[in-house]
Amino acid sequence: MNPARGEAALRLVGETITLRPSFSALVAAEQEIGPLFAMVERAADGRMTLAEMTGLFWHTAIDRPAALDRDRFAEAVVAGGLVHATPALKVLIGQILQGR
């Protein structure tokens, strides 16, 4: 993980997965979950959905283990608990708002 690139770490199923908010990853996430600014506003209001969070994580993950398909990935996020996912989410939201 390289914080200078705006990357965040997410620990799932015993693996550390790097989340990189590249332009193409954010565009893919936006195509799935809608405008990112609206998602950030919902997050600030405590209204961000689990589907939005896992979608953002999925599209920004650059080194997912091959065994983690989309459903297993989402289940692993839930199994890990929101308290463990929140630091990575905070980094990604910061990068969406501030850029690099």
Domain ranges across the chain: 20-98
pTM, two decimals, is 0.93
Q: How confident is the model at residue 100 (pLDDT cuts 50, 70, 90)?
A: low
* Type of residue found at 23: F
* 26-66 residue pLDDT tens: 999 999 999 999 999 999 999 999 999 999 999 999 988 88
Average pLDDT of the segment spanning 64-78: 93
Pick the closest to residue 9 from 78, 91, 100 (CA basis): 91
Burial of 18 (0-12, 13-18, 19+ CB in 10 A): middle
Are the C-beta atoms of 52 and 42 separated by less than 8 Å? yes
